[in-house]
Amino acid sequence: MLVFIARRLFISVLVFFSATALVYVMAANLGDPLADLRELPPDDREAAIADRTERMNLDKPVVARYFLWLGSVLTGDLGTNRTGQDVNGMLDRAIGATLQLVLAATILSIVVGVGIGVISALRQYSGLDLGVTFGAFVCFSLPVFWVGTLLKQYGAIEFNNWLGDPSIAWWVIGLIAVFTGMVFSSLLMGDRRTRLTAFAGSAAIMAVLLTVLSATGWFSDPGLGIVVITLSAGAAAVGFATLFGGLEWSATMKASAAAAVIGVVCALTLGPVLRDPEWWTILLLGVITAAVCFALGHVIGGVLHRRTAIPAAMLTGLFTGGVIFVDRMLQSFADYSDSVRGRPIGTIGPSTPNYEGTFWEHGLNSFGHLALPTMTLLLISLASYSRYSRASMLEVMNQDYVRTARAKGLPERAVITRHAFRNGLIPITTLVAYDIGTVLGGAVVTETVFGWRAMGDLLITGINERDPNPVMAFFLVAGAAIVIFNMVADVVYAYLDPRIRLS
C-alpha cells in the first residue's frame, strides 16, 4: 500500500506542476494588461505604465515570469494583483466564502443523493423509482442561473411576503398532503391495500398538521417544543438501532433508547446554557454527547453487540442534539425577522452587512442567506449522485456473493448494509472525490446570481483584468483540490478493492 500511495503521490505532483505552467502561460496571454492605462492623460500614462510593468514583471518573458511566480509561491507568497493588492488576503476571503457556500450543498447532495439512489435501487421500477428518475433528470437538465433566479423570486421575495400573513390555502394543503401520501405509499413493499392505507394515513396526518400550523400562526413564530423533540429522539433511536442491529429489543436498541432519553433530559435542563452560547460551547456539547453515547454503547452493548450499539447510540445522541439546536434557533426566528424588517430569506451575499444580534440570530442570518444558493447547488448535483448510486447498487445486487449471502439465511438488512452497499460505493468514490475537488474552486454561476464574492469572483476578476496572479491563486486551490482528491480516490479504491493495488 505504501508503494502504491508513493507512486500516486509522485504522479500527482508531476501533473500539478505541469498544469500550473500551462495555466500560467494561458493567463499571461489573456490580453494586454496595460490597455486601460493607455487611455490615461499623457502626463500620468508613462508613470502608471512603468509602475504596473515593474509590479507584474511585464518586461520579462512569460517563462521567466512563471519561475519568478513559482519561487514566490514556494515561500508562501502569492504576490499582488495589478493594482497592488495582496493576493494572499484576497484568496483567504474567497476561500472562506466558497467553503461557506458549497460545503453544506456538497455534503447534502452526497448524503441525500446516495440515499435516494440506494432506495430507488431497492424499489426498482416502483412508483418511487420512476418518480425519482423523472425528478432527477428534470433537475439535471435545468440551467443553474434559471434555477437560482426562480428561487430568488419565489423562495425569497414571495416567501418573505407570505410570512407577513402566513396562512396556507386549502388547495395547497391538499396538494402537499397528496404528495406526502404518494411518497410514503411508494416506500412500502406490499399489496395495493397496504399502500392505499399508507397513502390515506400519511396524507391525512399531513393535512391536519398543516391546517393546525396555519391556524395557529406557527410559521411566524416557530418552535418544536419538548413533545416534538421527544418524538424525534424516539424515532431516531428506533431507526438507527434497526439499521445497525435489527428491529428487536436488543442491547443495540437499549443503548439507542438510553441516548434518546439523555438527549430529552438535556433539552429540559440546558436552557440557561443555550440562551446565547458561543460556537465553542456548541462544539464542546457535541464532543461530550459523542463521548457519553460512545460509553453507553460500549457498556450496554457488551461484548456481543458493542460494534452495533456504539454507532447507533452515537448517531441517536448527535441527531437529538441537532434537533435541540434547530429548536433553539427556531425560537429566535420571530425576533430575527423583526430585526431584518420581515425579510429573513436573503438574496445577496453571505450575510446582512453590519448585523448585530444573538448567537441564534446570527445563525438564522447565515442560514437565510445560504438557503437559496445551497438549494440551487443541491438540486443540480442531486441527480448525478442518485443515478450513479442506483446503477451501482443494481449491479451489485445481482452479484453471486449477494445471492450467496441471501442463501446463507442472512437478514436482508445485513445483506444490503454489509455486502451490497460497501461494494456499491466503489464507483461512487471517484464521483465524490471529483465533485469535492471541483466545488472548492467555487460555483461561478451561482456566486454571480446570488452576489457572493468568492472563488468564482476571484477567477472572473483576474480574467477580466488580464491579471495572472489572481487566476493562478484560483488555480492553486482548485487544481490542488482536484489532484489531491483524485489521489485520495485512488487510495480509497485500493482500500475497498485490494485487487486494484496490483494494477
Q: What is the pLDDT of residues 313-348, one digit of tens each?
A: 999 999 999 999 999 999 999 999 998 888 899 888
**Joined grid coordinates for residue 367:** 442560514
What values do phi and psi take at 80, rounded to 5?
-125, 160
* Cβ contacts of 353 within 8 Å, gap of 6 or more: none
For residues 243 and 251, is the Cβ–Cβ distance under 8 A?
Answer: no
32: confidence class by pLDDT, cuts 50, 70, 90: confident
For residues 229 and 286, is the Cβ–Cβ distance under 8 A?
Answer: no
Predicted TM-score of the model (pTM): 0.81
**Joined grid coordinates for residue 331:** 425560537
For 300, the 3-state DSSP assignment is: helix
Write down the pLDDT at residue 290: 94
Neighbours of 71 (CB within 10 A): 10
Write down the pLDDT at residue 482: 83
Most confident of 34-48, 72-86, 223-237: 223-237
Average pLDDT over residues 70-85: 86
Looking at the predicted structure, is the pLDDT value of residue 498 above 70?
no
Q: What is the mean pLDDT of the chain?
A: 86
For residues 89 and 458, is the Cβ–Cβ distance under 8 A?
Answer: no
DSSP one-letter code for 270: -
**Of residues 326, 322, 318, 319, the one with CA closest to residue 363:** 326
Write down the pLDDT at residue 325: 94
Write down the pLDDT at residue 118: 87
Q: Provide the residue ranges of all domains of the chain, joining segments of one domain with +.
A: 2-90+442-502
**Joined grid coordinates for residue 453:** 464574492
501: confidence class by pLDDT, cuts 50, 70, 90: low
Write down the pLDDT at residue 399: 83
Looking at the predicted structure, is the pLDDT value of residue 281 above 70?
yes
| CA 303 to each of CA 238, 291, 308: distance values in angstroms, whole numbers, following the listed order | 21, 19, 11
Alpha carbons 37 and 56: distance in angstroms, whole number: 14
DSSP per-residue letters across 88-140: HHHHHHHHHHHHHHHHHHHHHHHHHHHHHHHHHHHTTTSHHHHHHHHHHHHHH
Write down the pLDDT at residue 31: 82
Helix or strand (DSSP H, E) at 380: helix 359-397
Alpha carbons 336 and 451: distance in angstroms, whole number: 22
Looking at the predicted structure, is the pLDDT value of residue 53 above 70?
yes
421: confidence class by pLDDT, cuts 50, 70, 90: confident
* Cβ contacts of 12 within 8 Å, gap of 6 or more: 483, 484, 486, 487
Looking at the predicted structure, is the pLDDT value of residue 191 above 80?
no
Looking at the predicted structure, is the pLDDT value of residue 500 above 70?
no
For 179, the 3-state DSSP assignment is: helix
Write down the pLDDT at residue 496: 67
Q: What is the pLDDT of residues 226-265, one digit of tens each?
A: 999 999 999 999 999 988 887 788 889 999 999 999 999 9
Least confident of 118-127, 331-340, 488-497: 488-497
490: confidence class by pLDDT, cuts 50, 70, 90: confident
Looking at the predicted structure, is the pLDDT value of residue 502 above 60?
no
Most confident of 195-209, 238-252, 475-489: 195-209
DSSP per-residue letters across 312-340: HHHHHHHHHHHHHHHHHHHHTHHHHHHHT
**Joined grid coordinates for residue 430:** 471517484
Residue at 466: amino acid letter: R
Q: What is the pLDDT of residues 355-401, one digit of tens each?
A: 888 899 999 998 999 889 888 888 888 888 888 888 888 888 888 88
DSSP one-letter code for 350: S
- Summarize the chain as % helix, strand, coil (round to 5): 80, 0, 20
416: confidence class by pLDDT, cuts 50, 70, 90: confident
% of the chain residues with pLDDT over 90: 25
**Joined grid coordinates for residue 193:** 391495500
1: confidence class by pLDDT, cuts 50, 70, 90: low
Write down the pLDDT at residue 414: 77
What is the torsion angle, in degrees rounded to the nearest 10, for the CA atoms of residue 164, residue 369, residue 380 and residue 169?
-10
152, exposed or middle or buried, with CB in 10 Å at 0-12, 13-18, 19+?
Answer: buried
